[in-house]
Every structure is written in C-alpha cells, then in structure tokens.
Amino acid sequence: MARIRVLVVDDSVVIRKLVSDLLSADPGIEVVGTAVNGRAGLQKIALLKPDLVTMDIEMPELNGIETVRELRASGNRVPVIMFSTLTERGAVATLDALAAGASDYVPKPANVGSIGRSMEQVREALIPRIKSLVPRIDTRTVPTGAVAPVAPAAPVSLRDPAQPPVNGYKLLVIGTSTGGPEALGSVLAGLPRLPVPTAVVQHMPPVFTQQFAARLDRQLVHAVSEAVDGQVLRPGSVCIAPGDFHLKVVAEGRDLVARLDQEPPENYCRPAVDVLFRSAAAVAGPAVLSVILTGMGSDGCRGARTIVERGGSLIAQNQATSVVWGMPGAVTTAGLAERVLPLSEIPAEITRRIGHQAGQLPVGPSAMSAGGAR
C-alpha cells in the first residue's frame, strides 16, 4: 500500500522538524517536503503534488488562510489540515481558514515545558485525521476534497422513507465533525426558520464553539447560540453544544430545555453526538428528525439507532459530498438512514418534513425586527 505523502508548511523550524519527525515515524506516512511560508508552500505543492498538506495559520509573506484561498482558487483540492492555537484569536482564524477551504485543524503544540507530551497530543490528533482525509484501504472511496463530477445519483433508500409524524416533528438534531463547519452552515443557510428548535453537536474544542455559533448567528436568519445549561429551546432557534460539554435535551413542563454536563467522553468525544441523540429520542421519540453530516469516526451511530427504534427519522449526507464519510457512512452501513442525500439536497428534505407544519415561522428579513433580533 502506498504511503500518504505529506507536505509540512510552517515558518518555525522547530515545528517543521517536530511535525516531520512524528509523521515520518508512522509507516503509512511519508513527509515529502517542508516549506517556510505559504508562498513557498504553493510552489512545493505544485512541484511535489502531495496527498495532504499541514499548514500553520500565522506565517510571513503569505499566511495560511491566504494560502488556502489561493490554492482553492486555482482548482487544487488537496486536503489541508491547519495548525491552530486554542485561543479566541486562533478560533476566529481557524474558522476563516475552514471557510476558505481548509479540510480540518489540530491544536498547535505550545507547551515548550513538556514538548514530549505536546507532540504526543499532536500525533494523536493529527495522524487519524490524515488517514481519514486520504484513505488508502478502499480505492473506490472518493478522495477528500475532490470534486465529484458524476451526475447526482438517485437518493439511497435504506429504510422506507417516512412521512412526517401525524402530530408533527418537535425537534431537529444534527451531528457532525470533520468538514462540519461548512456543511452545517450550508444546511442551515438553506432552511427557513423552522417551527421547532434545532440542537447541534459539532466536534470542536472550547472557545471554538462559541466563535462558531456567533459567526453563524451573524450570517443566518436563524437565532444561533452556544448552548447554556437550563436554556429553553425555542422554535426557530439553533443551539450548539459547547466544547468539552455534552449537550442533552430534556423536558421540563411543556418546554424542551438544554442541559450540559461533563460526564466521560463517548467515542473519545465531548460533546458527543450519541449523547445528544439519545436524549432527543428519550424526550421526543417519533417526533425527532436527526441528521448526520460529514465527520470522522462513528459518533452518532448508537444514538441514531435509539432514535430510529423509537420511531424517529434519520437523514445522512452521502459519500461524494462528505469531507470524511465516517459518521454518515456508519449510520448508512447500519441501515438506519431513511435518506442518504448530497449536502445540497438535505435542506429541502428537512423543509419537506418540518417546514410544512402549522405555524411555520416566517423566512428572511420580514422575520427580523428593526433591531435585528430574531
């Protein structure tokens, strides 16, 4: 099996050496070169044609965000993993890089007092992402980041596609990971303001989820926020699980309420999609519509099974449009999804099931007050 060819782009000679060494220690990865900034990185990408690039964000001459933007503008779809800092500024820059076309990100090693442990953390985060973004086992898999030029196939029907419940859906829950920020933004942008609340788990660290929610809130007609413990989930609102906290939906009186906790991670994740989905099944049963978007691993599969067993519904993103088809692939292979759709068709399917319900909220500027409140 051919090794995955990686280019390391970073202005720090120390980081270039450390990252190159930890990647080269893996028998499935070959570091084919390094570059000191984005401009040199673009030249090396054209020359070496790597399978994947790791890239710093802050670099002289051409920073990581500008480099990704130029790379994508040229039509090059090579997967790019950004190194980011776990700060508010780092979160904003990382979200900018993802919006520009980066595939994923990992925290940059910063604890020089314990460089061995720092690099071990980077190795644990980076190598699985590289192997998910550049699969080598199944040659039929569409390479991550590649544009799929094939004509859209008919939607796969694994369970009999259900009609909306007689009394209507009460809750929309969405789970996603790698590639999720752009995928989730695309889905929400295509939806009207729904007559039910939406709860989301996007695998992200603390600070990042707050910045991600704030960005979506500025961009969309939906009221998007990072979930707060005890928050009542209102129709038309979208709440996103905070980094390092599980999000559950519970019933308190006639309200659906967000509850946060720091119980042990599931699937190595906190927040975990499984936790959210199980709570949704418990509180709303057949009145839950769930969606699994692009993501690494299988988080959400067990929770999705619980939703389906209680009569709820599941939509999964298809392989051709997923950055990584781990999470949606797991529920598809398990036969849990009623529809497996390209990303562009998921908003219409959600709207078909939920948007028709009596009391649908208005769409667009007319739904906003003069002060901009939802």
CATH of the domain at 118: 3.40.50.2300
Buried b (16+ CB within 10 A) or exposed e, 66-98: bbbbbbbeeebebbbbbbbbeeeebbbbbbbbb
User: Considering the domain boundaries, does residue 147 fall inside one?
Assistant: no
Q: Give the mean model confidence (pLDDT) for residues 17-45.
A: 96
Rounded CA-CA distance 336/316 in Å is: 9
User: Considering the domain boundaries, does residue 145 fall inside one?
Assistant: no
125 lies in the same domain as 189: no
Q: Give the mean model confidence (pLDDT) for residues 197-220.
A: 96
Which strands form 80-84's sheet, in the order they lie side by side? 29-35, 4-9, 52-56, 80-84, 104-107
Q: Where are the alpha helices (DSSP H) in 74-114?
A: 88-100
Rounded CA-CA distance 178/291 in Å is: 15
What are the percentages of helix, strand and coil residues in the chain, rounded to 5?
35, 20, 40
How, if at all, do strands 288-292 and 171-176 pair? parallel
As for how many domains the chain has, the answer is 2
34 lies in the same domain as 178: no
- Residue 116 pLDDT greater than 80, yes or no: no
Q: Give the mean model confidence (pLDDT) for residues 176-182.
A: 96
Rounded CA-CA distance 162/168 in Å is: 12
User: Considering the domain boundaries, does residue 69 fall inside one?
Assistant: yes
Domain endpoint, select from 83, 105, 133: 133
Query: Which tokens is 11 given?
Result: 């202005």
CB-based contact 352:162 (threshold 8 Å): no
pLDDT value of position 371: 34
Q: Which residues are catalytic?
A: 177, 203, 299
User: Considering the domain boundaries, does residue 312 fall inside one?
Assistant: yes
User: Considering the domain boundaries, does residue 163 fall inside one?
Assistant: no
The secondary structure of 318-350 as a DSSP string is -STT-S-BSHHHHHHHTT--SEEE-GGGHHHHH
Domain that holds residue 128: 4-133
Domain endpoint, select from 118, 133, 148: 133
User: Does residue 358 or residue 31 have the better pLDDT?
Assistant: 31
- Residue 367 pLDDT greater than 60, yes or no: no
Q: Which segment of 60-64, 162-166, 320-324, 348-352 scores lowest on mean pLDDT?
A: 162-166
Query: Which tokens is 272 given?
Result: 């975990």
User: Considering the domain boundaries, does residue 200 fall inside one?
Assistant: yes
The pLDDT tens digits for 39-97 are 999 999 999 999 999 999 999 999 999 999 999 999 999 999 999 888 889 999 999 99
122 lies in the same domain as 208: no
- Residue 169 pLDDT greater than 80, yes or no: yes
Q: Give the mean model confidence (pLDDT) for residues 240-259.
A: 97
- Residue 329 pLDDT greater than 60, yes or no: yes
pLDDT value of position 138: 41
277 lies in the same domain as 220: yes
73 lies in the same domain as 122: yes
User: Considering the domain boundaries, does residue 357 fall inside one?
Assistant: yes
Give the dihedral sign, CA 273/274/276/280. Answer: positive
Q: Which segment of 16-20, 106-110, 313-317, 364-368 scores lowest on mean pLDDT?
A: 364-368
- Residue 232 pLDDT greater than 50, yes or no: yes
125 lies in the same domain as 219: no
pTM to 2 decimals? 0.87
- Residue 140 pLDDT greater than 70, yes or no: no
Query: Which tokens is 21 given?
Result: 């060494």
DSSP code of 235?
A: T
194 lies in the same domain as 264: yes
pLDDT value of position 257: 98
Q: Which segment of 3-7, 172-176, 333-337, 357-361 scores lowest on mean pLDDT?
A: 357-361
Look-up of token digits 């729904």:
194
pLDDT value of position 7: 98
DSSP code of 250?
A: E
Q: Which burial class, exposed, middle or buried, applies to 117 when counting CB atoms under 10 A from its CB (0-12, 13-18, 19+)?
A: exposed
Mean residue pLDDT across the chain: 88
pLDDT value of position 153: 37
Q: What percent of the chain has pLDDT over 90?
A: 78
Domain endpoint, select from 114, 133, 152: 133
